[in-house]
Structure 1
Amino acid sequence: MERLHPFIIVDDLATLVVSRQLAHHLVSVRRLRNGARLFAGDGHGRFRTVAIEAIQAQVRLVPLSDISIVPRDEPDIGIAMFLPSSERLSWAVQKLTETGIDRIHLLSDLHDRRGGAQLSPAHLERLERVAREAAQQSERLWLPVIDPPKPAHEYFASVGQGVAILDPAGGPLPKGVTTLVVGPESGAIVAPDSIPRVSLGLPILRIETAAVAGSILLATLRASLVCICDKPW
Protein backbone atom coordinates (compact mmCIF):
# COMPACT_ATOMS: atom_id res chain seq x y z
CA MET A 1 0.00 0.00 0.00
CA GLU A 2 1.40 3.39 -1.01
CA ARG A 3 1.83 5.75 1.91
CA LEU A 4 0.35 9.23 1.74
CA HIS A 5 2.56 11.07 4.19
CA PRO A 6 2.07 13.64 5.58
CA PHE A 7 -1.69 13.40 5.07
CA ILE A 8 -4.45 15.86 5.95
CA ILE A 9 -8.19 16.06 5.33
CA VAL A 10 -9.81 19.23 4.02
CA ASP A 11 -13.44 19.99 3.24
CA ASP A 12 -12.87 20.90 -0.41
CA LEU A 13 -9.93 19.80 -2.57
CA ALA A 14 -10.64 22.58 -5.07
CA THR A 15 -10.48 25.53 -2.68
CA LEU A 16 -8.08 23.90 -0.15
CA VAL A 17 -9.32 26.13 2.67
CA VAL A 18 -7.31 25.55 5.86
CA SER A 19 -9.21 25.79 9.14
CA ARG A 20 -7.59 27.27 12.24
CA GLN A 21 -7.44 23.82 13.83
CA LEU A 22 -5.77 22.31 10.76
CA ALA A 23 -3.31 25.21 10.54
CA HIS A 24 -2.29 24.58 14.14
CA HIS A 25 -1.88 20.88 13.35
CA LEU A 26 0.35 21.58 10.35
CA VAL A 27 2.58 24.23 11.93
CA SER A 28 2.68 23.46 15.65
CA VAL A 29 2.16 19.67 15.70
CA ARG A 30 3.69 18.48 12.43
CA ARG A 31 6.25 21.31 12.31
CA LEU A 32 5.83 21.69 8.56
CA ARG A 33 7.33 24.76 6.94
CA ASN A 34 6.83 26.87 3.83
CA GLY A 35 7.27 24.76 0.69
CA ALA A 36 6.62 21.43 2.44
CA ARG A 37 4.77 18.90 0.30
CA LEU A 38 1.95 16.76 1.61
CA PHE A 39 -1.17 14.90 0.54
CA ALA A 40 -4.65 16.32 1.06
CA GLY A 41 -7.82 14.23 0.96
CA ASP A 42 -11.50 15.00 1.40
CA GLY A 43 -12.57 11.87 3.28
CA HIS A 44 -14.50 10.59 0.25
CA GLY A 45 -11.75 8.77 -1.62
CA ARG A 46 -10.29 11.79 -3.41
CA PHE A 47 -6.82 13.24 -2.83
CA ARG A 48 -4.11 15.38 -4.40
CA THR A 49 -0.56 16.54 -3.71
CA VAL A 50 -0.29 20.06 -2.28
CA ALA A 51 2.35 22.36 -0.84
CA ILE A 52 2.34 24.89 1.97
CA GLU A 53 2.66 28.36 0.47
CA ALA A 54 2.66 30.56 3.56
CA ILE A 55 2.69 30.08 7.31
CA GLN A 56 2.61 33.64 8.69
CA ALA A 57 -0.81 35.27 8.86
CA GLN A 58 -2.65 32.28 7.43
CA VAL A 59 -1.59 28.88 6.18
CA ARG A 60 -2.35 28.45 2.49
CA LEU A 61 -2.12 25.33 0.34
CA VAL A 62 -1.43 25.25 -3.39
CA PRO A 63 -2.21 22.22 -5.58
CA LEU A 64 0.67 20.33 -7.19
CA SER A 65 -1.31 17.58 -8.90
CA ASP A 66 -4.73 16.73 -10.25
CA ILE A 67 -7.29 15.07 -7.99
CA SER A 68 -7.05 11.28 -7.88
CA ILE A 69 -9.86 8.98 -6.76
CA VAL A 70 -9.48 5.69 -4.91
CA PRO A 71 -12.60 3.46 -4.61
CA ARG A 72 -13.67 2.03 -1.29
CA ASP A 73 -12.47 -1.42 -0.39
CA GLU A 74 -15.11 -4.09 -0.88
CA PRO A 75 -17.15 -5.36 0.75
CA ASP A 76 -18.13 -2.66 3.23
CA ILE A 77 -17.46 -3.77 6.79
CA GLY A 78 -19.22 -2.48 9.88
CA ILE A 79 -19.47 -2.62 13.64
CA ALA A 80 -22.82 -2.18 15.41
CA MET A 81 -22.23 -1.38 19.06
CA PHE A 82 -24.29 -0.44 22.05
CA LEU A 83 -23.28 2.81 23.72
CA PRO A 84 -20.57 2.77 26.40
CA SER A 85 -19.52 5.91 28.34
CA SER A 86 -18.63 9.02 26.33
CA GLU A 87 -14.87 8.65 26.77
CA ARG A 88 -14.89 4.98 25.80
CA LEU A 89 -17.15 5.66 22.81
CA SER A 90 -14.72 8.28 21.50
CA TRP A 91 -11.86 5.82 21.91
CA ALA A 92 -13.82 3.16 20.03
CA VAL A 93 -14.63 5.50 17.13
CA GLN A 94 -10.97 6.50 16.92
CA LYS A 95 -9.72 2.91 16.77
CA LEU A 96 -12.48 1.68 14.45
CA THR A 97 -11.54 4.44 12.04
CA GLU A 98 -7.88 3.46 12.20
CA THR A 99 -8.66 -0.21 11.53
CA GLY A 100 -10.68 0.62 8.40
CA ILE A 101 -14.31 0.10 9.41
CA ASP A 102 -16.67 1.63 6.83
CA ARG A 103 -19.77 2.09 8.96
CA ILE A 104 -20.27 2.42 12.71
CA HIS A 105 -23.84 1.67 13.76
CA LEU A 106 -24.65 3.04 17.22
CA LEU A 107 -27.38 1.14 19.09
CA SER A 108 -29.41 2.16 22.12
CA ASP A 109 -31.36 0.06 24.57
CA LEU A 110 -32.67 0.23 28.12
CA HIS A 111 -29.95 -2.25 29.08
CA ASP A 112 -27.01 -0.20 27.81
CA ARG A 113 -24.76 2.12 29.82
CA ARG A 114 -26.94 5.14 29.02
CA GLY A 115 -30.25 3.42 29.67
CA GLY A 116 -31.45 4.08 26.14
CA ALA A 117 -30.61 7.80 26.20
CA GLN A 118 -29.69 9.37 22.87
CA LEU A 119 -26.57 11.33 21.96
CA SER A 120 -26.83 15.08 21.47
CA PRO A 121 -26.01 16.64 18.06
CA ALA A 122 -22.90 18.16 19.64
CA HIS A 123 -21.74 14.73 20.81
CA LEU A 124 -22.23 13.27 17.32
CA GLU A 125 -20.25 16.16 15.83
CA ARG A 126 -17.47 15.44 18.32
CA LEU A 127 -17.39 11.80 17.20
CA GLU A 128 -17.12 12.98 13.58
CA ARG A 129 -14.10 15.10 14.55
CA VAL A 130 -12.53 12.14 16.34
CA ALA A 131 -12.97 10.03 13.19
CA ARG A 132 -11.51 12.78 11.01
CA GLU A 133 -8.41 13.14 13.18
CA ALA A 134 -7.96 9.36 13.28
CA ALA A 135 -8.27 9.17 9.49
CA GLN A 136 -5.54 11.79 9.10
CA GLN A 137 -3.24 9.89 11.46
CA SER A 138 -3.84 6.56 9.70
CA GLU A 139 -3.73 8.07 6.17
CA ARG A 140 -7.22 6.84 5.48
CA LEU A 141 -8.89 8.21 2.33
CA TRP A 142 -12.46 7.25 3.26
CA LEU A 143 -14.07 8.44 6.47
CA PRO A 144 -16.41 5.97 8.17
CA VAL A 145 -20.13 6.66 8.27
CA ILE A 146 -21.29 7.04 11.87
CA ASP A 147 -25.00 6.30 12.15
CA PRO A 148 -26.86 8.09 15.00
CA PRO A 149 -28.07 5.78 17.78
CA LYS A 150 -31.01 3.62 16.77
CA PRO A 151 -33.11 1.41 19.07
CA ALA A 152 -31.69 -2.10 18.90
CA HIS A 153 -34.99 -3.70 17.89
CA GLU A 154 -35.29 -1.31 14.93
CA TYR A 155 -31.75 -2.12 13.82
CA PHE A 156 -32.28 -5.87 13.98
CA ALA A 157 -35.56 -5.54 12.06
CA SER A 158 -33.77 -3.77 9.21
CA VAL A 159 -30.71 -6.00 8.71
CA GLY A 160 -30.38 -8.90 6.33
CA GLN A 161 -27.61 -11.35 5.63
CA GLY A 162 -24.04 -10.64 6.68
CA VAL A 163 -24.68 -9.69 10.32
CA ALA A 164 -23.52 -11.67 13.35
CA ILE A 165 -23.59 -11.01 17.09
CA LEU A 166 -20.44 -11.33 19.18
CA ASP A 167 -21.12 -13.75 22.04
CA PRO A 168 -18.53 -15.57 24.19
CA ALA A 169 -20.77 -18.65 23.98
CA GLY A 170 -21.18 -18.38 20.22
CA GLY A 171 -19.72 -20.53 17.48
CA PRO A 172 -17.25 -19.99 14.62
CA LEU A 173 -17.61 -17.03 12.30
CA PRO A 174 -19.53 -18.11 9.17
CA LYS A 175 -18.50 -16.94 5.74
CA GLY A 176 -20.11 -13.81 4.37
CA VAL A 177 -20.33 -11.86 7.65
CA THR A 178 -19.48 -8.19 7.11
CA THR A 179 -20.97 -6.61 10.25
CA LEU A 180 -20.45 -7.63 13.86
CA VAL A 181 -22.76 -6.56 16.69
CA VAL A 182 -21.27 -5.82 20.11
CA GLY A 183 -23.81 -6.08 22.95
CA PRO A 184 -24.28 -3.85 26.00
CA GLU A 185 -22.32 -4.19 29.23
CA SER A 186 -25.27 -5.94 30.84
CA GLY A 187 -24.87 -8.76 28.34
CA ALA A 188 -28.62 -8.66 27.65
CA ILE A 189 -29.27 -8.54 23.93
CA VAL A 190 -32.57 -9.51 22.33
CA ALA A 191 -32.26 -10.35 18.64
CA PRO A 192 -33.88 -12.70 16.12
CA ASP A 193 -32.68 -16.30 16.26
CA SER A 194 -31.83 -16.03 12.57
CA ILE A 195 -28.83 -13.83 13.39
CA PRO A 196 -25.85 -16.07 14.21
CA ARG A 197 -23.85 -15.62 17.39
CA VAL A 198 -20.11 -15.95 17.07
CA SER A 199 -17.16 -16.01 19.44
CA LEU A 200 -13.78 -14.34 19.07
CA GLY A 201 -12.28 -17.05 21.26
CA LEU A 202 -11.28 -14.45 23.85
CA PRO A 203 -12.22 -13.73 27.48
CA ILE A 204 -15.05 -11.33 28.33
CA LEU A 205 -14.14 -7.98 26.78
CA ARG A 206 -15.30 -4.42 27.28
CA ILE A 207 -17.60 -3.08 24.57
CA GLU A 208 -14.93 -0.95 22.93
CA THR A 209 -12.29 -3.70 23.11
CA ALA A 210 -14.62 -6.26 21.53
CA ALA A 211 -15.56 -3.77 18.82
CA VAL A 212 -11.92 -3.17 17.88
CA ALA A 213 -11.06 -6.87 18.02
CA GLY A 214 -14.00 -7.62 15.74
CA SER A 215 -13.04 -4.82 13.36
CA ILE A 216 -9.51 -6.18 12.96
CA LEU A 217 -10.93 -9.61 12.18
CA LEU A 218 -13.22 -8.20 9.48
CA ALA A 219 -10.45 -6.04 8.00
CA THR A 220 -7.96 -8.90 7.76
CA LEU A 221 -10.59 -11.17 6.22
CA ARG A 222 -11.43 -8.52 3.61
CA ALA A 223 -7.74 -8.08 2.80
CA SER A 224 -7.39 -11.88 2.40
CA LEU A 225 -4.68 -11.90 5.07
CA VAL A 226 -6.57 -14.61 6.95
CA CYS A 227 -9.27 -17.02 5.86
CA ILE A 228 -12.21 -18.88 7.37
CA CYS A 229 -11.05 -22.48 7.40
CA ASP A 230 -13.25 -25.55 7.07
CA LYS A 231 -11.35 -27.28 9.85
CA PRO A 232 -10.24 -25.98 13.28
CA TRP A 233 -6.61 -25.87 14.33
Structure 2
Amino acid sequence: MTTETLPLHPDIASALAGITTATLSTVLLEKGIRKIWMRGPAPLTGNQQRQVGRAFTLRFVPAREDLATPASWASPISTRAAIEAMPAGCITVVDAMGVTDAGIFGDILCARMHKRGVAALITDGVVRDVVGVIDTGLPVWCRGTAAPASVAALTFVGWQDPVACGGVAVFPNDVVVADTDGAVLIPAALLEEVVELAARKERFEEWVLQEVKSGATLPGLYPPNVETKARYEAEIAGQ
Protein backbone atom coordinates (compact mmCIF):
# COMPACT_ATOMS: atom_id res chain seq x y z
CA MET A 1 0.00 0.00 0.00
CA THR A 2 2.96 2.28 -0.62
CA THR A 3 3.11 2.39 -4.41
CA GLU A 4 2.97 6.00 -5.51
CA THR A 5 0.57 6.74 -8.35
CA LEU A 6 2.40 8.30 -11.27
CA PRO A 7 0.81 11.09 -13.30
CA LEU A 8 -0.34 10.32 -16.82
CA HIS A 9 1.08 12.77 -19.33
CA PRO A 10 -1.73 14.91 -20.80
CA ASP A 11 -0.61 14.14 -24.36
CA ILE A 12 -0.81 10.41 -23.69
CA ALA A 13 -4.22 10.75 -22.05
CA SER A 14 -5.50 12.85 -24.95
CA ALA A 15 -4.25 10.36 -27.52
CA LEU A 16 -5.80 7.40 -25.70
CA ALA A 17 -9.13 9.20 -25.40
CA GLY A 18 -9.40 8.88 -29.18
CA ILE A 19 -8.39 5.21 -29.45
CA THR A 20 -10.81 2.33 -29.01
CA THR A 21 -10.15 -0.63 -26.76
CA ALA A 22 -10.60 -2.81 -29.84
CA THR A 23 -7.65 -1.12 -31.52
CA LEU A 24 -5.54 -1.27 -28.38
CA SER A 25 -6.22 -4.99 -27.93
CA THR A 26 -5.15 -5.66 -31.52
CA VAL A 27 -1.91 -3.69 -31.13
CA LEU A 28 -1.08 -5.54 -27.93
CA LEU A 29 -1.94 -8.86 -29.59
CA GLU A 30 0.51 -8.03 -32.37
CA LYS A 31 3.14 -7.56 -29.67
CA GLY A 32 2.32 -11.00 -28.24
CA ILE A 33 0.35 -9.79 -25.22
CA ARG A 34 -3.08 -11.42 -25.10
CA LYS A 35 -4.49 -11.19 -21.57
CA ILE A 36 -5.27 -7.50 -21.39
CA TRP A 37 -9.09 -7.38 -21.80
CA MET A 38 -10.86 -7.79 -18.46
CA ARG A 39 -13.56 -10.43 -18.66
CA GLY A 40 -16.74 -9.39 -16.91
CA PRO A 41 -16.59 -5.61 -16.37
CA ALA A 42 -19.14 -3.86 -18.59
CA PRO A 43 -20.51 -0.30 -18.57
CA LEU A 44 -23.10 0.17 -15.86
CA THR A 45 -25.01 2.57 -18.11
CA GLY A 46 -25.38 2.80 -21.86
CA ASN A 47 -23.95 6.27 -22.28
CA GLN A 48 -20.58 6.11 -20.54
CA GLN A 49 -17.77 7.90 -22.33
CA ARG A 50 -14.30 6.39 -22.82
CA GLN A 51 -12.15 6.74 -19.70
CA VAL A 52 -8.36 6.68 -19.42
CA GLY A 53 -6.15 6.60 -16.33
CA ARG A 54 -3.45 4.98 -14.26
CA ALA A 55 -4.58 1.91 -12.35
CA PHE A 56 -5.13 2.28 -8.61
CA THR A 57 -5.69 -1.24 -7.35
CA LEU A 58 -7.84 -2.68 -4.53
CA ARG A 59 -8.10 -6.32 -3.51
CA PHE A 60 -10.69 -8.48 -1.77
CA VAL A 61 -10.32 -12.10 -0.62
CA PRO A 62 -13.04 -14.52 0.47
CA ALA A 63 -15.02 -13.48 3.54
CA ARG A 64 -13.79 -14.71 6.89
CA GLU A 65 -16.29 -14.29 9.68
CA ASP A 66 -13.93 -12.63 12.18
CA LEU A 67 -12.76 -10.08 9.61
CA ALA A 68 -15.64 -9.44 7.24
CA THR A 69 -17.90 -7.46 9.55
CA PRO A 70 -19.50 -4.02 9.42
CA ALA A 71 -17.01 -2.99 12.13
CA SER A 72 -14.19 -3.53 9.62
CA TRP A 73 -15.36 -0.49 7.67
CA ALA A 74 -13.75 1.70 10.37
CA SER A 75 -10.41 -0.14 10.18
CA PRO A 76 -7.26 1.64 8.93
CA ILE A 77 -7.22 -1.02 6.21
CA SER A 78 -10.64 -0.46 4.70
CA THR A 79 -12.27 0.59 1.48
CA ARG A 80 -12.90 3.97 3.13
CA ALA A 81 -9.20 4.50 3.81
CA ALA A 82 -8.31 3.34 0.30
CA ILE A 83 -10.65 5.88 -1.26
CA GLU A 84 -8.93 8.69 0.63
CA ALA A 85 -5.64 7.61 -0.96
CA MET A 86 -6.97 7.68 -4.53
CA PRO A 87 -5.49 10.52 -6.61
CA ALA A 88 -7.51 12.52 -9.09
CA GLY A 89 -7.51 11.00 -12.56
CA CYS A 90 -6.82 7.43 -11.51
CA ILE A 91 -8.95 4.47 -12.54
CA THR A 92 -9.78 2.28 -9.57
CA VAL A 93 -9.42 -1.40 -10.47
CA VAL A 94 -10.94 -3.75 -7.90
CA ASP A 95 -10.22 -7.45 -7.65
CA ALA A 96 -13.44 -8.94 -6.28
CA MET A 97 -12.63 -12.48 -7.48
CA GLY A 98 -15.67 -12.39 -9.76
CA VAL A 99 -18.06 -12.52 -6.79
CA THR A 100 -21.51 -11.33 -7.85
CA ASP A 101 -23.63 -11.78 -4.71
CA ALA A 102 -22.21 -8.86 -2.68
CA GLY A 103 -21.67 -5.29 -3.85
CA ILE A 104 -18.17 -3.95 -3.27
CA PHE A 105 -19.24 -0.27 -3.26
CA GLY A 106 -22.50 1.64 -2.95
CA ASP A 107 -23.61 5.17 -3.64
CA ILE A 108 -21.83 6.88 -0.73
CA LEU A 109 -18.42 5.43 -1.52
CA CYS A 110 -18.86 6.11 -5.22
CA ALA A 111 -19.91 9.68 -4.46
CA ARG A 112 -16.70 10.20 -2.49
CA MET A 113 -14.63 8.74 -5.31
CA HIS A 114 -16.30 11.08 -7.78
CA LYS A 115 -15.68 14.02 -5.45
CA ARG A 116 -11.98 13.13 -5.31
CA GLY A 117 -11.78 13.16 -9.10
CA VAL A 118 -11.43 9.42 -9.70
CA ALA A 119 -11.92 8.82 -13.42
CA ALA A 120 -13.73 5.47 -13.18
CA LEU A 121 -14.33 2.30 -11.19
CA ILE A 122 -13.65 -1.06 -12.83
CA THR A 123 -14.31 -4.37 -11.08
CA ASP A 124 -14.95 -8.01 -11.84
CA GLY A 125 -17.49 -7.84 -9.02
CA VAL A 126 -20.73 -5.89 -8.63
CA VAL A 127 -22.00 -2.70 -7.01
CA ARG A 128 -25.02 -1.99 -4.81
CA ASP A 129 -27.39 1.00 -4.47
CA VAL A 130 -27.28 1.09 -8.26
CA VAL A 131 -29.62 4.04 -8.77
CA GLY A 132 -27.57 6.10 -6.34
CA VAL A 133 -24.30 4.97 -7.89
CA ILE A 134 -25.47 6.11 -11.31
CA ASP A 135 -26.59 9.43 -9.84
CA THR A 136 -23.07 10.09 -8.49
CA GLY A 137 -21.78 10.50 -12.03
CA LEU A 138 -18.87 8.11 -11.43
CA PRO A 139 -18.32 5.97 -14.55
CA VAL A 140 -18.52 2.30 -13.54
CA TRP A 141 -17.64 -0.92 -15.32
CA CYS A 142 -18.76 -4.00 -13.38
CA ARG A 143 -20.59 -7.34 -13.65
CA GLY A 144 -23.92 -6.06 -12.38
CA THR A 145 -25.60 -5.29 -9.09
CA ALA A 146 -26.44 -6.97 -5.78
CA ALA A 147 -28.12 -5.75 -2.61
CA PRO A 148 -25.85 -7.34 0.06
CA ALA A 149 -22.82 -5.43 1.34
CA SER A 150 -19.28 -6.55 0.53
CA VAL A 151 -18.76 -8.22 3.92
CA ALA A 152 -21.48 -10.73 3.09
CA ALA A 153 -19.01 -12.47 0.79
CA LEU A 154 -15.68 -10.62 0.77
CA THR A 155 -12.87 -9.38 3.00
CA PHE A 156 -11.02 -6.23 1.96
CA VAL A 157 -7.25 -6.63 2.37
CA GLY A 158 -5.51 -3.66 0.80
CA TRP A 159 -4.68 -1.36 -2.05
CA GLN A 160 -1.89 -0.52 -4.48
CA ASP A 161 -0.62 -4.07 -4.84
CA PRO A 162 -0.78 -6.27 -7.96
CA VAL A 163 -4.27 -7.71 -8.43
CA ALA A 164 -6.23 -9.90 -10.82
CA CYS A 165 -9.31 -8.39 -12.42
CA GLY A 166 -11.29 -10.33 -14.97
CA GLY A 167 -8.37 -12.66 -15.65
CA VAL A 168 -5.88 -9.82 -16.17
CA ALA A 169 -2.84 -9.11 -14.01
CA VAL A 170 -3.04 -5.44 -13.04
CA PHE A 171 -0.14 -3.61 -11.44
CA PRO A 172 -0.36 -0.14 -9.94
CA ASN A 173 0.44 2.49 -12.61
CA ASP A 174 -0.46 0.28 -15.54
CA VAL A 175 -2.79 2.28 -17.78
CA VAL A 176 -6.43 1.33 -18.26
CA VAL A 177 -8.72 2.37 -21.09
CA ALA A 178 -12.43 1.56 -20.79
CA ASP A 179 -15.20 2.08 -23.32
CA THR A 180 -18.33 0.32 -24.57
CA ASP A 181 -16.31 -2.80 -25.42
CA GLY A 182 -15.00 -3.12 -21.87
CA ALA A 183 -11.69 -2.40 -20.16
CA VAL A 184 -8.22 -2.97 -21.58
CA LEU A 185 -4.89 -2.76 -19.75
CA ILE A 186 -1.70 -1.30 -21.20
CA PRO A 187 1.43 -2.40 -19.32
CA ALA A 188 3.19 0.70 -18.02
CA ALA A 189 6.51 -0.22 -19.64
CA LEU A 190 4.90 -0.41 -23.10
CA LEU A 191 2.73 2.70 -22.84
CA GLU A 192 4.42 5.11 -25.24
CA GLU A 193 5.08 2.49 -27.90
CA VAL A 194 1.53 1.14 -27.75
CA VAL A 195 0.00 4.62 -27.96
CA GLU A 196 2.06 5.47 -31.03
CA LEU A 197 1.22 2.21 -32.81
CA ALA A 198 -2.46 2.38 -31.85
CA ALA A 199 -2.85 5.97 -33.03
CA ARG A 200 -1.30 4.98 -36.35
CA LYS A 201 -3.60 1.95 -36.66
CA GLU A 202 -6.66 4.01 -35.75
CA ARG A 203 -5.90 6.53 -38.52
CA PHE A 204 -5.40 3.76 -41.05
CA GLU A 205 -8.59 1.94 -40.09
CA GLU A 206 -10.60 5.15 -40.34
CA TRP A 207 -9.28 5.49 -43.89
CA VAL A 208 -10.13 1.84 -44.64
CA LEU A 209 -13.67 2.34 -43.35
CA GLN A 210 -14.19 5.26 -45.70
CA GLU A 211 -12.87 3.14 -48.57
CA VAL A 212 -15.34 0.36 -47.69
CA LYS A 213 -18.21 2.84 -47.50
CA SER A 214 -17.22 4.02 -50.97
CA GLY A 215 -17.55 0.48 -52.31
CA ALA A 216 -14.02 -0.94 -52.02
CA THR A 217 -13.65 -4.69 -51.56
CA LEU A 218 -11.66 -6.15 -48.67
CA PRO A 219 -9.02 -8.35 -50.37
CA GLY A 220 -5.84 -6.28 -50.63
CA LEU A 221 -7.39 -3.48 -48.60
CA TYR A 222 -7.68 -5.00 -45.13
CA PRO A 223 -5.05 -6.17 -44.47
CA PRO A 224 -3.40 -3.89 -47.03
CA ASN A 225 -1.21 -5.10 -49.84
CA VAL A 226 1.76 -3.13 -51.13
CA GLU A 227 -0.35 -1.06 -53.53
CA THR A 228 -2.87 -0.13 -50.84
CA LYS A 229 -0.12 0.87 -48.41
CA ALA A 230 1.45 3.09 -51.04
CA ARG A 231 -1.88 4.73 -51.88
CA TYR A 232 -2.68 5.33 -48.24
CA GLU A 233 0.71 6.84 -47.49
CA ALA A 234 0.45 9.08 -50.56
CA GLU A 235 -2.98 10.33 -49.47
CA ILE A 236 -1.80 10.95 -45.90
CA ALA A 237 1.29 12.80 -47.14
CA GLY A 238 -0.92 15.02 -49.28
CA GLN A 239 -3.13 16.13 -46.41
The answer, yes or no, to whether TM exceeds 0.5 is no
Using the size of structure 1 for normalisation, the TM-score is: 0.23
Q: Which structure's residues are more often helix, by fraction? A: 2
Which protein has greater RCO, CA pairs closer than 8 Å, 6+ apart? 2
